[in-house]
Chain A
Amino acid sequence: MKLYRYTLNSSRRVVFYVVIGLTTLFLVAGFYNVQVLQENVYRQKSLQNSVKVITQTPLRGLIFDREGELIVDNRPSFSVYLVPAQSTDSSIARVARILNISEKEIRKKFRRSRRFQPVKIARYVDQKDLVALQENKLLLPGVEWRVDPKRNYNVDEAFAHVLGTLGEIGENELNKDSRFEPGDMVGKKGVEKTMDEALRGSKGYKYMKVNALGQSVEEIENDQTADPYPGKDLYLTIDRRLQQYADSLIGDHRGTLVAIDTRNGEVLALATRPNYQLSWFAEAVDPEIWHNLTTDPEKPLFNRSIQATYPPGSTYKMVAAIAALNEGIVSPYWSVFCPGYYRIGRRIIRCWKGGGHGEVNLTSAIRGSCNVYFYQLGTRIGIENWNKYSLLFRFGEPTHIELDSEKGGLVPSKAYYDRVYGKDRWTAGMLANIAIGQGELLVTPVQMAQFAMMLANAGRYYQPHLTLQLVDRITGKTEKPTFPAENIPVIRPEVFSAIREGMRQVVAGGTGWRAGVYGLTGGGKTGTAQNSHGNSHAWYIGFAPFEEPEIAVALVLENGGSGGGIAAPLVGQFLRRYFYFQGKFDYAAERVYLQKLWKQKREEARMDSLRAAGVVSPEDSTVIELEN
């Protein structure tokens, strides 16, 4: 056997060297690109890869009423999480079946999340389902559960609109704050929403090193590691008993009652009906209930106290009166004869009292709510003055009470009329109309309560608010927020005295006499606002006691009818309850007084009939003084 000789061709060897060299250089360039040029990109990815953040939900702050009664607290509840990297098709299908949720929903949530970050797929899992998960743990790779407290309400629907509800965070809110994660619960309405920042507390973060199987290997301390910090406890200005009582007074009406402490602007009651059961929202809302709530024509989810705008009717007459007096357009003694109607050009507008009020001045016009007087006043004041005083009393802008989606209402101005009707194409009739609180003018009930407070205080304004104090549960530190307060400029004290005297007489024998409380004086004004939705809205605004006011109240009942007949007595009831709690009113004494009064009336009637029959002589009678 012979082997053959190889003769070297050195140029071919060089070709091989060159190929080896180029190949090596090509790889070196590739690694240089990845390891040197793009090092930071991959270093970041490598960190994300192997670190799992465990978020610990803090306890949400509790909510108390002004007396320190616990209204809302938290109850333990479980949420179920799924780790995308560890879950399998079968575990997703199985967990979806146990929890009765759709697989598609779970996969949708996966799309937004990182491989090792647990994704919340269900909250408020009940005991039965949790047991089922525990039993099947081995068949459910990637499934985890954690304590995730839910809200527990010690009060009923009377508080629904004030407290509001929690809900899963939406897409928009998520992008606002990097601390939010999908699945977080945030306030959606009411103080839960406006005070969310304080109530929320701060999350705890634990960083765990995980391996490719998602198993936690060890905890890593870094500058973002933190323990959860509970939210602050919120003490509301609301009095639980008054709130509940106000709610019961409204009853089957659609309406709202707002009561404000005139000495500081604290809102004592803010009741709105119809409303809803808070417990429906403590867990995921039943779809049927949600459907009913959203389709109900009475709109129970609508917070009428701040979101509804109504024509205020006669309760707004004080604005025109103050404007006229303060601008010197009329004096308190200026009087008008009310025949029951008023003629502007070819139009005739009627006063509510068919027979007319006769000769009325400012005080008696307020007392009797005479439209004819205010028609004339309105045409004299002019739109600019009326608008100026409306804005001084902060109509046309939200009150900034701590509730979301508050409306500002509408205060027409000259510019507004020019825009709507064309320049100078609108008539004096419109002025007459807005002077009695009709026409385009729209207000919210909380604005009216604020108005009543400013009248009670003869011009002193406090921003209505719901927050009494916030308490840090860990440090025990109490934080009392301050709110704007000021005296309304421009308006002279004697103007307020005249107006307040009119309001006193409304209660003392005027249209609002049914709002009177035995043993106390007060001021008020009724309103019966015509509207395009049926019966008139029944309004009453008032305050008491007259000399040193403590409380201002506004009540509106949608399509409730007469302000004096329907609204005023309810406010009377409410004031009785308030002063009863203050120790300034005695139900028993009033009963005794009324019984005596009725007995006397019966006696009088009997005497009258006896006199008529000639049994008793006309001199034989006793009179008991009526007090108001």
Chain B
Amino acid sequence: MILDRIKSLDWLLILPLLGLLGMGLVALYSTSQGASAIGNHFQTQLWWMAMGLGTMAIVSLLFPHRFIYDLTYLVYGLSVVLLILVFFFGLKEYGATRWLSIGGKTFQPSELAKFATLLALARFLSDERKDMNDPKNIAIALAIIFLPAGLVFRQPDLGTALVFGVIALPIFFWVGLHTRYLILVMWPVLTIFASFNTFTFVGIIIAITVYVFFWLKLSSITRILYLLVNIGVGFAAPMAWDQLQDYQKQRLLTFWNPEADPLGAGYQIIQSKVAIGSGGFLGKGFCEGSQTQLRFLPEQHTDFIFAVIGEEWGFLGVLLGLLLFALFLSRLVYLASIFKSRFSSIIAVGFAVIIAFHMFVNIGMTIGLCPVTGLPLPFVSYGGTALLTNMAMVGLILNFYRHRFEY
């Protein structure tokens, strides 16, 4: 019976995943070599990976299918409580309070909250009678997201808080949000970026005016209100910028021009680019990357692990990694589209968005295309909590797959 269940797993999802896990292990092995290795992350991660695969197997093969649906709001409530506990009792490190200590082990509640929020959102939106274009439903869905997201932002952990925000639109779109609403939501985001320069700000307000008044059929009051909201966002964004912590600003600014501060905040990006660039097309070879082996590459086992791959395996290794991610993500989207259950479908798509966002921000960061946000690379970076939760999520998707015809 178990064998039948194993046969019924989706191996097109599992194979790219195993590829990514393998790449991570190879890179971690390399960072654990040499006279100046910081510690044996390889060994530790091997154990975490075994536990992760076990978790995936248990969740996919043995979990009662609907059990998770029933627990959704409980898990969500629990994670919000944990985030509040972090707010009061968390461990402070590098100017941020993100960790809870339970019996000497540290644990990052925002990691759990990410998926708890996704589950809660999926459950709320799984009722097909709920019209995604009804403002009331949108408001409730946003509230579900912004309660934990706000707490995470306060820690402060800008990167993870962004992950919460980023899942909203794709999910709304997946369950039927009109394209024009999607566009209406996109405008304020553009306004935020445009608001730091007077000319771009004026330009974008004119563009919005043209779109709202001449393209869409809306009441005059709605049109004016929408315009005012955008203008308000435009004025608020620079003020919010001032509210950011210095290191957050530094990270965002350094992203645009890392050479401006080569020994400070720009150091990581420069070293990462040097590692990747010097790898060339074929790479320097396994355990032969001088940037990695001589520790010039910072955070090489966590945030910058993809730079290790880039240096030692070259452009070919990078292509393989990106291909594996693309396959994994496309398969998730495909699965989401064939699930008969609306709940399962939303979770699959939300999970894909979370992984995609992590991947894009983390890998983009290693070559200076994204700011340094401290988001790990899923399945590849060193770290137990993230790996376990991600693997549990994959397990859940596989579980849904076995029951894909049910709803």
Contacts and interface: CB of A to CB of B under 8 A. Distances in A.
Interface of A: 1, 3-10, 12-13, 15-17, 19-21, 23-24, 26-28, 30-36, 38-39, 41-43, 45-46, 49-50, 115, 209-213, 215, 217
Contact of B126 (A3, A24, A46, A115): A3
Given A20-B329, A30-B367, A32-B315, A210 B338 contact: no
Interface string B373-407: 00000000000000000000000000000000011
Which 3 A-B pairs have CB atoms at the shortest separation, nearest pair first? Answer: A42-B277, A46-B278, A212-B295
Given A1-B66, A3-B406, A8-B338, 19 more contacts: A1-B69, A3-B407, A4-B128, A5-B342, A13-B334, A16-B170, A19-B356, A26-B369, A35-B276, A42-B274, A45-B277, A46-B274, A49-B274, A49-B290, A49-B294, A50-B290, A50-B291, A217-B35, A217-B36
Contact of B333 (A5, A17, A36, A212): A17
12 contacts: A3-B341, A4-B127, A12-B173, A13-B333, A20-B329, A20-B356, A21-B326, A28-B319, A31-B318, A49-B274, A211-B296, A217-B36
B275 interface: yes
A41 B276 CA distance: 11
Contact of A45 (B278, B295, B322): B278
A27 B294 contact: no
Interface string B247-269: 00000000000000001000000
A34 B318 CA distance: 12
B121 to A, nearest CB: 14
B174 interface: yes
A24 B326 contact: yes
Contacts of B174: 12, 16
Contacts of A115: 263
Given A4-B342, A27-B360, A212-B296, A34 B277 contact: yes
Contacts of A5: 128, 340-342, 407
Contacts of A4: 126-128, 341-343, 407
Contacts of B29: none
A23 B322 CA distance: 10
A6 B407 contact: yes
Contacts of B66: 1, 3
B265 to A, nearest CB: 16
B352 to A, nearest CB: 8
B70 interface: yes
Given A3-B126, A45-B274, A27 B280 contact: no
B343 A3 contact: yes
Nearest to B352: A16
B348 to A, nearest CB: 10
A27 B324 CA distance: 13
A210 B291 CA distance: 10
Contacts of B126: 3-4
B273 interface: yes
Contacts of A23: 356, 360
Contacts of B285: none
A216 to B, nearest CB: 11
A213 B367 contact: no
Given A35-B281, A38-B277, A28 B322 contact: yes
Contact of B291 (A34, A38, A49): A49
A16 to B, nearest CB: 5
Nearest to A2: B407
B310 A35 contact: yes
B291 A46 contact: yes
A39 B291 contact: no
B209 interface: no
A211 B295 contact: yes
A98 B227 CA distance: 66
Contacts of A1: 66, 69-70
A46 B339 CA distance: 49
Contact of B276 (A13, A26, A31): A31
A34 B276 contact: yes
Contact of B314 (A26, A35, A38, A210): A35
A239 to B, nearest CB: 58
A5 B346 CA distance: 11
Contacts of B367: 30-31, 33-34
B367 to A, nearest CB: 5
B318 A35 contact: yes
A538 to B, nearest CB: 65
A424 B187 CA distance: 90
Nearest to B289: A46
Nearest to B357: A23
A210 B294 CA distance: 7
A45 B279 CA distance: 12
Contacts of A210: 294
A263 to B, nearest CB: 64
B280 A35 contact: yes
Interface string B27-61: 00000000110000000000000000000000000
Among B271, B280, B342, residue most surrounded by chain A Cβ atoms (within 10 Å): B280
A193 to B, nearest CB: 38
Contacts of A10: 337
B204 interface: no
Given A3-B126, A34-B277, A45-B274, A8 B315 contact: no
B325 interface: yes
B343 A46 contact: no
Contacts of B349: 16
A394 B120 CA distance: 102
